[in-house]
């Protein structure tokens, strides 16, 4: 479900290189290979309705903002958990994300408040929680329904397994 890529952002260091004369103008090229964001995320296991999910946890501002962007696949039973310092209205979009995803907004106890299917063909569409949430969990599209996990169900989240989890507070 990939769509044409925007490579303009990958040349953002070009002006600095030209200013300092470190790259001859005739040799300048920008890579067409788009890679996942360069962050190493810690992982934890979540459990819901008897199903285990390996989740990357956004532990830095960069990994929080990058999410699953620029990836072309997500292994089965894997996802990404976004944690917030307090309950709040949370918004996501699919900019530079090429994998069809489902997202769940969770309360502080891991109870699913709502889910949405996210479509990479509409990268600017916003997916916003209707009520304040503590966590957002992105998984391959359909994972919740395939595992009979619904709104109102709880996921077991052991955040103590991750040291210094980053909690993005947008005040």
Asked, for residue 128, whether it belongs to a domain, the answer is yes
Residue range 97-126: average pLDDT? 96
Tens of pLDDT, residue by residue over 7-40, are 333 344 444 444 444 443 333 333 334 455 767 7
Q: Which domain holds residue 17?
A: 1-33
Separation of alpha carbons 43 and 33, rounded Å:
26
Please, are residues 30 and 11 in contact by the beta-carbon 8 Å criterion?
Answer: yes
- My answer on whether 19 and 67 are in the same domain is no
Whether the predicted pLDDT of 82 surpasses 70: yes
- My answer on whether 17 and 86 are in the same domain is no
Whether the predicted pLDDT of 81 surpasses 50: yes
- My answer on whether 19 and 61 are in the same domain is no
- My answer on whether 40 and 29 are in the same domain is no
- My answer on whether 64 and 111 are in the same domain is yes
CATH number at residue 80: 2.60.120.1140
Question: What is the pLDDT, as a whole number, of residue 76?
Answer: 96
The number of beta carbons lying within 10 Å of the beta carbon of residue 10 is 16
Provide the number of structural domains found in the chain. Answer: 2
Asked, for residue 166, whether it belongs to a domain, the answer is no
Asked, for residue 171, whether it belongs to a domain, the answer is no
Tens of pLDDT, residue by residue over 112-168, are 999 999 999 999 999 999 999 999 999 999 999 999 999 999 999 886 664 345 444
């Amino acid at each position: 479900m990939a769509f044409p890529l925007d490579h303009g952002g990958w040349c953002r260091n070009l002006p600095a290189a030209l200013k300092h004369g470190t790259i001859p103008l005739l040799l300048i090229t920008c890579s067409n290979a788009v890679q996942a964001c360069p962050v190493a995320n810690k992982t934890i296991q979540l459990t819901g309705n008897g199903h285990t999910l390996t989740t990357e946890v956004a532990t830095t501002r960069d990994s929080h903002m990058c999410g699953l962007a620029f990836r072309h696949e997500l292994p089965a039973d894997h996802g990404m958990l976004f944690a917030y310092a307090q309950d709040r209205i949370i918004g996501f979009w699919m900019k530079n994300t090429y994998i069809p995803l489902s997202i769940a907004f969770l309360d502080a106890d891991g109870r699913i408040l709502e889910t949405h299917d996210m479509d990479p063909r509409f990268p600017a569409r916003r997916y916003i929680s209707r009520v304040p949430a503590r966590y957002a969990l992105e998984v391959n599209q359909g994972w919740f329904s395939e595992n009979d996990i619904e709104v109102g169900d709880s996921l077991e989240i052991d955040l103590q397994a991750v040291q210094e989890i980053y909690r993005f507070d947008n005040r």
